[in-house]
Each structure stands twice: as C-alpha cells, then as structure tokens.
Chain A
C-alpha cells in the first residue's frame, strides 16, 4: 500500500519533471523560433488561422450573450439598490477579468487542444515525427513551437475580441431592448476599467494559452505506437487543460487581489 503510494508519487513527480522539461524546451525553442524557423512560419500562420480566426464566430456569440445578459440584468436589478454604477464593475469583473479569459480558454481547449492532440498523436503513430527527425527538423521547434505560439497568441487575441464584443457589441445589442445613453455608458465604462484589469486579462489569456498548447502537445507526443492511444491523449489534454487553466485562474485572481 505505502509502497504503491510512494511508487505513484515518484512516477507523478517524474512525469511532472518531464513535462516541465518539455515546457522549458518549448520555451527555449520559441526564443529561437523567429530567427531560424522560416519553414515553420507557415505552421504558425495556419495555427493562428485555425485557433484564432476560425473561433471568432463562437467567441462573438458567447461574448455577446454574456455581455448583453449582464447589462440587461444589471440595469434592471442594480438601481433598485441604488447601485446602478455597479453594472460597470460587474461587466469588467466578469468579462475582462474572469469569464472572458476562462471561456476563451475553454473554447480554445475544445477546438484546438483536441485538434493539436489528435494531429500530433497521429503524427507520432504514423512516424511523421520520426520523418521530421530524419530530415533534421526538431519536432519540438517545428511542430510544437508554432502550435504553442499560435495557440497562445490566438488565445490572447480571442480574449481581446471577447472583451470588445462583450463590452461594446453587447452595448449596441442592449440598445435595442433597453437604451442607455451612449456617452454615459462609455464614459463610465472607461472610468471603471483600470489598466490592471487589462493586464490581468492579458496575463490570464497568456498563461491559459501556454497551458493549453503545452498540455495538448505533451500528451500527444506521449503517444507511442497505437492509434487507440490518440483518444486517450485527447481526453487527457482536454481534462488536464481545464484543470490547469482553472488553477491558474485562481492563482492569478488571488495575485490580483493581494
């Protein structure tokens, strides 16, 4: 029993260290990416295209729905307590600081972590990774780094879009139902919006993007021989991605409040 626990612990520790080593290798390769990976640039562009541009639709929908819901409910309920101005704080807390980055991360996990895990897992099984090695291309710098950068950049950009849609487009949607003076809305919004909110947002989306891409590629590259390992890798990439994103979110939020 104790031995089993000890064994498990050491295995976990070993795996975590391995994952950490993988992460640092990706980071190191990322530093050299721009300088020497002309060929991988295309992979990066495609990754941003698929993760970022293609996800804009669903991000727009979610951001619009949440922004409008907060605005309409806020306008209806909050003035009853004489706290009409709180609606801006709630908008910013929910969209900029909390739900915006997290929901964007979830969308990216659902769309791109699965895609990355499947694609890279398949590459391992069909020996494409070995083919890259045989050509002399480092699979980490050619395959993982563009995905890492692409997903991270896309997550940040999508979070920015989420914010703009949630804060601005939702306002115009709300105008149809419950008009608010344009100038008042934006004046109060910009007054309530602090730079630290924007920094928190970017920090979160950055960390989420890193977590998503690293977990997805890590589990994909752990696939060895069988195509049946790929779904397992995808499940792990998604599950682990969710868990790590939430933990990171809690930590960053705590840092924000300390």
Chain B
C-alpha cells in the first residue's frame, strides 16, 4: 500500500474544544478510504485537515514527505489541480451562478481553455450527472440536494486524482445518488485516491478499500476494510452493522454472479 497523506500527531481546537486529538493516520494512494463516525466526532474536520484546508493547531500533515501546509505556490497549485473537495454544506459561491461555480476551477487551473471548451466540459458533466436545470441560476435557487450535486461537479470538473468527499450523497435524491455513485466508481476505476465521509451503507459496501473509524476526535481503528470490519468495539459494531448487512448482500450478489 502506497501512502498518499500522513497525519502526524495532529490536533485541532476550535472555541476551546479539542475536535481532533493527536491523530496519527496514514491514508493510502489509489484506494478509496471511507471515514466513519457518529455525528460531531470530527470527521469533517479531519477531512479538511487532510486536504490542507484547516491548518492543525499542532502536528503536521504530509503529502509525499512534504508538509502540505508549507507547499510553495506552484506545488500548492499542482496539488489543488489534481484534487477536488465536496463540502458537507456544498459551500457554493453564492455570488455567481451555477455555471461559474462549476467552471471556476477549470478556468483557474486551465486558463488556456477557450470559453467554448469550458462550457462543453461543464455541459458534459451536467449531462453525466443528469442535471438539466439552467446553469445560469444562482445556487440559492437550488435545493440542498441539488447544491450537493453542483458541489460534486465542481470537485470533479478538473478530473482530479484525489477526491475529498464529505458525504456526497447526503439528501440527494435517488436518481442523482445513483449517478454520483457511478461517477465515483468511474474515478475509483481510474485509480484515483478517494477519501470520503459517508453514512451511506450502499456506497461504503460497494467502494470502500480502507476504513477509518473516528470516535470523539480520535482514531478508533484504521486499516483495510476487511480487517476493520472485524473490530469488536461496540461503537464500531454499531456503525458497521448496517454497512456490513449491505456488504453481506453485496457479497451474496457476487456469489450469485459467480454461480451463474
């Protein structure tokens, strides 16, 4: 297993509350990591730290032996060009329309693209996700689920190699959900490194290679999906119960396929 990101003794405090406490975590390259944990345990914060968005109060974040927060401008730009981030609350740019939201990373990282190429790319992605509303609307006009879709589109518009996904299917209707999962799978098949927070058992069971269980700002367990799913901790068992059910049925499906 090759390492993508290593969190070394990372702590993060906000308003005198230690959200992340001395976390040591290694995230694998070219694999899909799923971070699980109950609400408010610090998953989102952990993901943002791993993406270099939040600077930790102590500890370091390494990207291939380099301090992620001390990257020079060119390195940072390169890193951002190959990474995408879906925020839990979408975090769309409120003062521009949907099209601009999606196109901004493309325009920023590929300034040489013509306006036509950009719009073709955006339209193609919208079509892939099944988003057929007008892209000239402001994000505030959209439902929460639709915003999530736009946030997802914004994250993947540059075809990143690293995807940070904070609950990408949350409150998204089933049609979009399927499309999102399809796209995530496409990235996984391409060999992208995906770091994802999700409570969607279907998603976890289908694509997780690596599992991280977070409990109250600390790592309860982290490792290969198959080994972590054996964890006997009641907290872990509770989190995994649903996922494992799905996974079991998934396994059965596979057996069925093999039997045919």
Contact = CB atoms under 8 A, between A and B. Distances in A.
Direct contact of A and B (CB under 8 A): yes
A197 interface: no
12 contacts: A39-B104, A39-B108, A119-B95, A126-B94, A128-B92, A130-B54, A131-B154, A133-B53, A134-B85, A135-B85, A135-B154, A136-B76
B80 A134 contact: yes
Interface string B73-89: 00011011101110101
Given A134-B51, A134-B164, A136-B81, A127 B91 contact: yes
Contact of B53 (A39, A123, A130, A224): A130
Given A127-B87, A134-B80, A135-B108, 20 more contacts: A38-B107, A39-B104, A126-B89, A128-B91, A128-B93, A130-B48, A130-B53, A130-B91, A131-B85, A131-B87, A131-B91, A131-B92, A131-B93, A131-B154, A134-B51, A134-B83, A134-B84, A134-B87, A134-B164, A135-B154
A249 interface: no
B110 to A, nearest CB: 11
B80 A127 contact: no
Contact of B87 (A123, A130, A136): A130
B234 interface: no
Nearest to A142: B108
Contacts of B51: 134
B109 interface: yes
Contacts of A137: 104, 108
A119 B96 CA distance: 13
Interface in A199-239: 224-225
B80 A136 contact: yes
> Size band of the A side of the interface?
10 to 19
Interface in A126-157: 126-128, 130-137
Interface of A: 38-39, 119, 122-123, 126-128, 130-137, 224-225
Nearest to A43: B95
A84 to B, nearest CB: 53
Nearest to B151: A131
A127 B89 contact: yes
A133 B53 CA distance: 6
Contacts of A136: 76-77, 79-81, 105, 108-109
A119 B54 CA distance: 21
Please list the 9 inter-chain residue pairs (A to B) with the smallest Cβ-Cβ separation, ordered nearest first. Answer: A136-B80, A134-B85, A127-B91, A131-B91, A135-B105, A130-B53, A133-B53, A136-B77, A127-B87
Contacts of A135: 80, 85, 104-105, 108, 154
B154 to A, nearest CB: 8
B205 to A, nearest CB: 27
A66 B54 CA distance: 51
Contacts of A123: 94
B36 to A, nearest CB: 22
A38 B83 CA distance: 21
Nearest to B82: A136
Contacts of A134: 51, 53, 80, 83-85, 87, 155, 164
Interface string B94-112: 1100000000110111010
Question: Which of A128, A132, A134, A225 has most B Cβ within 10 Å?
Answer: A134
Contacts of A122: 94
B235 to A, nearest CB: 27
A182 to B, nearest CB: 47
A205 to B, nearest CB: 26
Contacts of B108: 39, 135-137
Contacts of A38: 107, 111
A126 B88 CA distance: 10
Contacts of A128: 91-94
Contacts of B14: 224-225
Contacts of B91: 126-128, 130-131
Contacts of A39: 104, 107-108, 111
A133 B155 CA distance: 12
A133 B164 CA distance: 13
Nearest to B100: A42
Nearest to A127: B91
